[in-house]
Every structure is written in structure tokens, then in C-alpha cells.
Amino acid sequence: MDIIAQYGFELVLLAGLFGFFMAWGIGANDVANAMGTSVGSKALTIKQAIIIAMIFEFAGAYLAGGEVTSTIRKGIIDSAYFVDQPHLLVFGMVSALLAAGIWLLVASYLGWPVSTTHSIVGAIVGFAAVGVSVDAVTWAKVGGIVGSWVITPLISGFFAYVIFMSAQKLIFNTPDPLASAKRYVPIYMALSGFILSLVTIKKGLKHIGINFSTSEAFMISGVIALIVALLGVIAIRRLKIDPAADKRMHYASVEKVFAILMIVTACCMAFAHGSNDVANAIGPLAAVVSIVENGGEITKKATLVWWILPLGGIGIVAGLAIFGRRVMATIGQGITHLTPSRGFAAELAAATTVVLASSTGLPISTTQTLVGAVLGVGMARGIAALNLGVIRNIVISWIVTLPAGALLSICIFFMLKGIFSPA
Amino acid sequence: MSMNSILGVFAKSPIKPLQEHITKVHKCAEHLVPFFKAVYANDWKKAANIRAELSQLEKGADRLKRELRTNLPKGLFMPIDRTDLLELVTQQDKIANTAKDISGRVLGRQLEIPAPIQKEFIEYLIRCIDTAGFAVKAIDELDELLETGFQGKELQIIDNLLTELDTVEDTTDSMQIALRHSLHGIEQDINPVDVVFLYNIIEWIGDLADFAERVGDRLELMLARS
């Protein structure tokens, strides 16, 4: 208790700093994955992608990030173990943040495709299980989270397969694909808008104090979907169709229509990423702030302090603004054979899966969900060649990240304990 | 940093190099027409120049073939079978090799095509090269086929092209028989060794069409398997 009373401000400052650092890292690195498919298929320029990411990452974090934040903050560990020694929880959360941040930095430097989610979950489990007690971890919950890491790529792969197949059936394999594209693409846009707004309204707006009934939520989502579709129709009308390009590639014009759709799905992707991954940075911070503000008391129902979500959002945007451009530029240069019709299917599937996970409070990896979706499109025979070697690397990096994050956080935890606790 | 991005998942598409390869191979075979025109005119210097160009194209095709093979490691996930793809490029390459062999043999021996069969000979040659042209058209549809997820009307388009290829190949067979017959009629007036080589060349030109047909067969097999 004394420690918190004595060093409360310093601890919050430290957690805030590390949390911002982590959010910044997510913005600099992770967002590139979320936006990469749009840039890679030339649907968006780097500048447009960054602007979309800034707006929708922030919106996602602020409007729909609450549930995952609460899982990271109090779902993984059993707070009953810390009632008598809340300072351990504070130290632990600070070390988890720092450990995950360091691990991300190292992994980025080495070029490993690691997940921020895995790092932070590994780090939190690490300090709690080793630093405090094995029973301090809510293993059932952790098991569920780890299970979701396996299942979400499968689900998004399935979604992507179905979405891509439907696009093939409704658009590509019709006598006039361009006319079909003009007809059906706005419907996909409406679908994207509907899913996103519904999940946000149902789950996200609670914590900023707005409540809607189910029917109201459906109505509002429907209206938003209509608006999105209408904007889509206008954008498609304004498209310039180039017959010369069609001679070279019969589907060039169709892909142009899909490129507009991809702007919408890119927004969804940024929103979904913001809603899930911001929690990795601010969940631990929220825990620290709540304990310090309550003078060491661990309250179950503690509401999120108002400045925390925006801090995470701003951190991501800052990372994007400073480093995102460079990361995206490297992506843009890579010659990819990803056309907008495939990119949209992958993005819509991944965004839907991530947003659904966000609404149930499951911290999952956006990158892996997207990889699952891309594989789904590949299964539907939509992509010329996929590198299974890279996918294997990604799987290996999940497995390495958990113990690495845990080990780092254990070390930092004992160091912090040594520094702050009088012997 | 690049490994960190999801786009590492996307490997280089083998379709574009495959199309480039067959286009180059076809161009190589097409050089035989001006080559034989120079031979008809007894302009061996010009023939040698054209043969050099042809050889250059063949080398280019070889390079593309090697590139395609090295860019096709085992760990790729593709909508088409890897072995089919490798077999396809092998067959394509044989067309270029044959064209090079034909021009080399004719030039090396300064083999003249007898005047009475010259017209029939060049028509036969052009027809055989046309067969390869259909193979080019079919392979050119592959990226569209990928767009439509290997189903639907694009599959039909390729199927039609391959049927046409088969028909044209059939006509080259009967043209070859007729040409051989004509050669047989005049062979007592020609140097016997030249006659043997003329039969040889006629056969090799027929091989151009045969290999083109085999490209079509491979393609058909590849699509049927999927």
C-alpha cells in the first residue's frame, strides 16, 4: 500500500510512457500489415492509406476497443491474488508493457513477423505465473485466448472463401462482369458498413455512455450501410472506364470497381485493427491507473479513465505518422499479384472476424487473421502463388513470442520489485 | 522490416513468366519464315543474320525458363499443380529449340529448298507456326482464368482455343503428307544427301506443331486435374 501511495504518480507516468511506446510501436509496424493489402493491390496510395488508418484506427480504438482492453486488464489474471499486494499487479503490468515493447522492437529489428497480442499476453501470463503464483493466472481464460488464436484464422479463412466464391458467382462468371460488378459491389459495401456499425453500436458505445436497444442498433446500422452503399454508387458512377485496358486484361474495369470497394474494406480493416490491438497497449495501463487512483484498491467494476483510450489512439497515429510511411513504402514497392477483387475478400473477412473477436473481448492477432483470410482466397483458387514458407515462419514466431514475452516480463518484474520495494 | 509484413505471403506469380516464355518461343519460330525466304533467295548472309536473331531469342526463352523454374520452390501454394506447370514450360521450350535446330541445319548445309515445292513448303511452315500461335493464345488466357477463379466462361474460352489448336495441328499433318509426296516426285533430280535432310527438315517443322499440341495437352490436363 505504501508503495502505491508513495510512488503512485511515478508508476502511472511510467505505465503511460510504456503504454504510449507500445501503441506507437503498433502504429509504426502492425498497421502496415492491416493496410498493406490495400496498398499492395494499388487500391490506395500510401498517403491515402495513412490518412484512412489514422481516422479509423482511432475510431476503432475509441469506439470498439473497450472489451478487449478489459480482458487484457483484468481477464487474464485473477485479481483476488493481488488484493493484499496491489503493488505487485502495478509492477507486473508495467513490466508486461515494457517487455512486450522490447520484444516487438527486437523482432522488428530481426524482421520476424510477431504479433503484439501474443507478446502482451505472454508477458502478462509470465509475470503473474512466475512472479506471483501459478494460480494467479486465470488459466481457463488464457486457454480460451490461445484457442482463439488457432480458430480465428480458420474462421476468417472460411469467410474469405465464401466471400470470394460469392464474388466469382455474382460478378466474374456472368455474361457482363462489369455490369454485375456495378450492381453488386455497393451491396458488399453496405454489408461491410452494416457489420462494422452493428458491432460498434452493440458493444462499443456503452463505455462512452450511449446505449441503444437491439432494434435501434439494427436500424442505425442499416442507415449507415445505406449511406455507405450510396457513396459507393456515386464513386462507381464517376469511374472512368478505359476500354484499352480491357483489351489487355478483360477484367481491368471490373477490378477498378473493386478498388473502390477496397477503400471501404480498408477502412473496416483499420477500424478492426484499432478495436483489437490498441488494447494491447492500453489494457495494462488502464489496470495501473485504476489501482493507483483507487489508492491500491482493486475494484472489479472500475470504469476506464477517459484519457486512456485516446492516448492509445494518439500513440498509434503518432507511430503511423513517423514510421508508417516508411514501412508502407517498402510494402508498396513489393510487386504483388494481388488484385482488388481478392484483396477485398481477404480484408472484409479479416475485418469481420477481428471486430467480432473485439466485441467478445478476445485479444487476437490481426495479422494472423488476415493471413488466414488470404489463405482462404487461395483455397478458392484466387491467388497465383502463396509462400507457405512465410506462413510457417509466422506460425513459428507465435510459438516463440509467448515464452520470450513471458521471460522478459519476469526479469523486468523482479527488477522493478527490487527498485521500488524497500528490502 | 519486409519480412514483418503480410505481403511476404504473396509469392511471385508464375503465370506472367509462363506467358512471356511462350510469346518469346513463338516469336522464335516466326523467325523461320523470313529465314526461309532468305534461303529461297539464296541470300545466305541474310539467312545467317536471321538465324543469329533466332538464336538470341531462343537464349532469351531459355533464360525465362530457368527463371521460372528457380522461382517455383516446393513451398508454394498455387491454384495449379506445380509439376504440371514445370512440364508445360518444358514443352513450350521445345518449340524454340526445334526452330533453332531447323535453322541451324539448313544454314550449316546451305540446304536449298527445291523450287517446285517452295510454295507448298512455306505454307506448311506458316501453318505449323500458326499452331504454336494458338498455344500462345491459350496460355495468354491464363491470367483471366485466374481472375475468374479457374471456372466459368474463361474455362470455355481456353477449351475452344485448344480445340482449334487440335484442328490446325491435324491440317499440318495432312499438309506434311502432301509435301512429302511432292518431294518424293522430284527427288531423283536432287542430291540424295540433300533429299534425306529435306525429309528431316519437313519432319522437324512438323514437330513445331506437335510440341504446340503437347503444350495444349498439358494445359488441358492441368485444368482438368483441378
DSSP A254-276: HHHHHHHHHHHHHHHHHHHHHHH
Q: Which residue type does A409 have? A: S
Q: What is the pTM of this model?
A: 0.89
Predicted pLDDT of residue A336: 59
| CA separation for the pair A59, A63 (Å, rounded) | 6
Q: Which residue reads 526479469 in cell numbers?
A: A411
| CA separation for the pair A395, A368 (Å, rounded) | 9
pLDDT of residue A113 exceeding 50: yes
Q: Measured between CB atoms, does B219 come within 8 Å of chain A?
A: no
Count of C-beta atoms within a 10 Å radius of residue A244: 7
Q: Which residue has the higher pLDDT, A166 or A321?
A: A166
The candidate with the shortest Cα–Cα distance to A349, out of A386, A327, A380, is A380
| Chain B residue numbers touching A380 (CB-CB < 8 A) | 149
What are the helix (H) ranges across A294-333? 308-319, 325-333
Q: Measured between CB atoms, does B56 come within 8 Å of chain A?
A: no
Contact B77 A173 (CB under 8 A): no
The candidate with the shortest Cα–Cα distance to A33, out of A297, A390, A291, A281, is A390
| Chain A residue numbers touching B11 (CB-CB < 8 A) | 384-387
Task: For residue A105, give the chain B residue with the closest CA.
Answer: B1
The answer to whether the CB of A382 falls within 8 A of the CB of A164 is yes
Q: Measured between CB atoms, does B156 come within 8 Å of chain A?
A: no
What are the helix (H) ranges across A65-138? 66-70, 86-110, 116-126
Contact A389 B73 (CB under 8 A): yes
| CA separation for the pair A367, B9 (Å, rounded) | 11
Predicted pLDDT of residue A3: 76
The answer to whether the CB of A406 falls within 8 A of the CB of A132 is no
3-state DSSP call for residue A7?
helix
The candidate with the shortest Cα–Cα distance to B17, out of B75, B63, B68, is B68
The candidate with the shortest Cα–Cα distance to A396, out of A107, A201, A85, A97, is A107
3-state DSSP call for residue A387?
strand
Of B5, B77, B153, the CB nearest to A173: B153
| CA separation for the pair B47, B99 (Å, rounded) | 14
| Chain B residue numbers touching A374 (CB-CB < 8 A) | 6, 9-10
pLDDT-derived band of residue B3, with 50, 70 and 90 as boundaries? very low
The candidate with the shortest Cα–Cα distance to A152, out of A349, A341, A399, is A349
* Assigned C-alpha cell, A339: 488484385
Q: Which of A104, A337, A371, A401 to mutate to test the interface with B (most CBs of B within 10 A)?
A: A337
Q: What is the pLDDT of residues A235-270, one digit of tens each?
A: 999 888 777 667 666 788 899 999 999 999 999 999
The candidate with the shortest Cα–Cα distance to B225, out of B76, B9, B10, B78, is B78
B76-77 vs A386-387, strand pairing mode: antiparallel
Eight-class DSSP state of B79: S
Positive/negative CA dihedral, A282, A288, A293, A294: positive
| Chain B residue numbers touching A375 (CB-CB < 8 A) | 77
What proportion of chain A, given as a percentage, has pLDDT over 70?
Answer: 92
Q: Measured between CB atoms, does B153 come within 8 Å of chain A?
A: yes
pLDDT-derived band of residue A158, with 50, 70 and 90 as boundaries? very high
E strands in A137-271: none
**How close is the nearest chain A Cα to the Cα of B214, in Å?**
23
* Mean pLDDT, rounded, of chain B: 92
The answer to whether the CB of A235 falls within 8 A of the CB of A216 is no
Q: Which residue type does B89 have? A: V
pLDDT-derived band of residue A82, with 50, 70 and 90 as boundaries? confident
Concatenated DSSP letters of A29-57: IIHHHHHHHHHHTTSS-HHHHHHHHHHHH
* Mean pLDDT, rounded, of chain A: 86
Hey, which residues does A77 pair with through a beta bridge?
Answer: A137
| CA separation for the pair A49, A319 (Å, rounded) | 14
**How close is the nearest chain B Cα to the Cα of A172, in Å?**
6
Burial class of A417 by CB neighbour count within 10 A (0 to 12, 13 to 18, 19+): middle
Predicted pLDDT of residue B162: 94
> For residue A173, what are the contacts with CB-CB under 8 A and spacing of at least 6?
B148, B151, B152, B153
Chains A & B: contacts with CB separation below 8 Å: 138
What are the helix (H) ranges across chain B? 15-30, 32-40, 44-70, 82-109, 118-140, 142-147, 153-186, 192-225
Q: What's the mean pLDDT in B90-115?
A: 95
**How close is the nearest chain B Cα to the Cα of A109, in Å?**
7
**How close is the nearest chain A Cα to the Cα of B67, in Å?**
15
Q: What's the mean pLDDT in A140-157?
A: 94
Of A112, A114, A386, the CB nearest to B77: A386
Q: Which residue type does B212 have? A: A
Contact B153 A393 (CB under 8 A): no
Q: What is the pLDDT of residues A170-202, one digit of tens each?
A: 999 888 899 999 999 999 999 999 998 988 887
Contact B75 A387 (CB under 8 A): yes
A-contacting residues in B 65-84 (Cβ below 8 Å) = 73, 75-79
| CA separation for the pair A190, A227 (Å, rounded) | 8
| Chain A residue numbers touching B6 (CB-CB < 8 A) | 33, 36-37, 113, 367, 370-371, 374
Question: What's the per-residue H, E or C state across B131-190?
Answer: HHHHHHHHHHCHHHHHHCCCCCHHHHHHHHHHHHHHHHHHHHHHHHHHHHHHHHHHHHHC
**How close is the nearest chain A Cα to the Cα of B83, in Å?**
14
Task: For residue B6, give the chain A residue with the closest CA.
Answer: A33
* Assigned C-alpha cell, A34: 492491416
Task: For residue B153, give the chain A residue with the closest CA.
Answer: A173
Q: Measured between CB atoms, does B8 come within 8 Å of chain A?
A: yes
| CA separation for the pair A229, A234 (Å, rounded) | 9
Predicted pLDDT of residue A217: 87
Query: Complex ipTM, two decimals?
Result: 0.85
pLDDT-derived band of residue A422, with 50, 70 and 90 as boundaries? low
Contact B4 A111 (CB under 8 A): yes
Highest mean pLDDT among A23-27, A321-325, A335-339, B200-204: B200-204
Q: Which residue reads 473497450 in cell numbers?
A: A66
Predicted pLDDT of residue B1: 36
| Chain A residue numbers touching B152 (CB-CB < 8 A) | 168, 172-173
pLDDT of residue B12 exceeding 60: yes
| Chain A residue numbers touching B2 (CB-CB < 8 A) | 111, 330-331, 334
The answer to whether the CB of A14 falls within 8 A of the CB of A96 is no
Q: Measured between CB atoms, does B1 come within 8 Å of chain A?
A: yes
**How close is the nearest chain A Cα to the Cα of B208, in Å?**
27
Q: Which residue has the higher pLDDT, A167 or B150?
A: A167
